[in-house]
Amino acid sequence: MLFNLCNNSEGVFNSAYRMQLLAAVSVTIITFCNGIGIGWFAPMLAKLQSPTESPLDFVATVEQGSWIGALICLGGLTGNLIFGVLAVHTGRKCCIYLLAIPHMCFWLLVYVAPSIEYLYAARFASGLTGGGTWVVIPIYIGEIADPTIRGRLTSLFTLSLNGGMLFGYILSSYVPYHIIPMAVILLPVLYLLIAIYFPETPSYLLHCGKEEEAEKSLKFYLNYKALTKLETEQFNIKYAELKSAVKQQRAQSDAVTLRDFFTKRSLRAFSIANTVALINIATGSFALLSYMTTVFVAVKTDIHPDTNTVIIGVVQILGAYIAMILVDRFGRKVLLLISTASTGIFLTAFGTYAFFVEGTNVDLTPYSSWLPLVLMALIILTANVGLIPVPAVLIVEILPTKIRAKGVSFCMALLSIFAFIMLKVFPPCMEAFGLATTIWAFAAFSAFGLLYIAIIVPETKGKSMNVVED
């Protein structure tokens, strides 16, 4: 039924959007690869900290484990900044190729790792790719996709990331340590080969003054056949509109100055984008996913923590798929409101369960085999419907065109900083205040987020980026 919702005349499977869909799927292969690296960490951390289960010649301490967890965010921050600059000066296509290099380094470092420092470097390299994908891929898809399907195609980013995390959970739980890098390093190689087929975005080519190449690129992404005179006229209109938009941007000046970031329009856009990013992190879904096994151990579930983690990975994919279908049907703001409210409710319930586990002698045996898993699944499901995927779509759409590439890079850099702080403080907060209080704090941020989204965040559904900017 969910599949049929998007299989209509205006859906992503329309023949006119075929190349846009294929391009979006192919470019998100690297996101899937990055998801594997992220998912690999959650079950593997517990093994690395166990003297009996560590697959390496050393055992990680709690402090070292927190650094392994958090360094991916510092790598992400670096990737945000580097790829933000490269996206402007070398183009989207070049960045798409470069994303694969640090990811392959990640698996090589994991494979050889004779000491903990190699795992630090590996996670940092993984963050470089992850940070770059959050900048490059939303811009690339945003520039090739028709406004009617842009939200769904951009949501493929989160869907593929979640699919990779599930695959990483499974591999880390059931496959020997040294087999994993040997198997998955082939995926970024496949990604590089497929990426050759797709051209640079028409917008960037026009910005560089390559009109002939831009016209060919637009025809490619529109799956242009020119079977009738009407189709030719429709293409000419679209191409003229695109040229006009790019010309208008260049007329304002190609050089982005510091003043461009401090206009009333830019400051409002940055305020909204960064607050939504903060809500994304402060509601705790990323921390819970990163330390999932640890959280399930804390609530004393009867099911093996690794099994719970894999189940949550399946729920992530379901939530991302629902978001992909609904984001262009009901809009960004509606999904954010529903997701934030639902996530807050289930966080409160999970925190209450954790309170009874930590602070009372209540017998929870009849519930311990299923209730914590169900509540966590609902948290991750509802977060993936809106809180996790929609900010990536909204940030690209809401920022002014002139500063979009650098603006997205800046917003993603802040997101990485927020995530680093969250991953670093989550374990000490659990130890100092207890899991229940920590989860209730996430719920409080959800309440704040709900109020902010309802009052401040605009709707950008179905609008061209130029209309959104106006």
pLDDT score of 17:
78
Note whether residue 218 is domain-resident. Answer: no
pLDDT score of 3:
42
Measure Cα distances from 147 to 150, 371, 459, 460, 461 in Å: 5, 41, 13, 10, 8
Sign of the four-CA dihedral 63, 64, 65, 68: positive
pLDDT score of 12:
64
Note whether residue 223 is domain-resident. Answer: no
* DSSP string for residues in 114-163: -SHHHHHHHHHHHHHHHHHHHHHHHHHHHHHS-TTTHHHHHHHHHHHHHH
Tell me the mean pLDDT per 10 residues along the chain, length 470. 44 74 91 92 83 85 82 89 86 93 95 92 93 87 82 79 88 90 92 91 85 85 76 77 74 68 88 92 89 84 81 83 74 88 95 90 82 92 86 83 76 85 87 91 95 89 52
Contact residues for 285 (Cβ-Cβ < 8 A; gap 6+): 343, 379, 380, 383, 384, 387, 388
Note whether residue 301 is domain-resident. Answer: yes
The tens digit of pLDDT for each residue in 428-443 reads: 888 889 999 999 999 9
Note whether residue 411 is domain-resident. Answer: yes
The structure's pTM equals 0.76
pLDDT score of 4:
47
368 burial class (0-12, 13-18, 19+ CB within 10 angstroms)?
middle
Token pair in block for residue 373: 């898993």
Note whether residue 248 is domain-resident. Answer: no
Note whether residue 207 is domain-resident. Answer: no
Note whether residue 386 is domain-resident. Answer: yes
Token pair in block for residue 268: 């409002």
Number of domains comprising the chain: 1
How does DSSP classify residue 200?
A: P
pLDDT score of 146:
80
Print the domain residue range for 176.
Answer: 11-198+260-469
CATH code for the domain in which residue 459 is found: 1.20.1250.20
pLDDT score of 363:
81
pLDDT score of 5:
41
- Beta carbons of 82 and 422 less than 8 angstroms apart: no
pLDDT score of 250:
67
Note whether residue 278 is domain-resident. Answer: yes
- CA proximity to 103, closest of 177, 192, 195: 192
How many helical (H) and strand (E) elements, i.e. helices and strands, does the chain have? 24, 0
Q: Alpha-carbon distance 315 to 384, whole Å?
A: 9
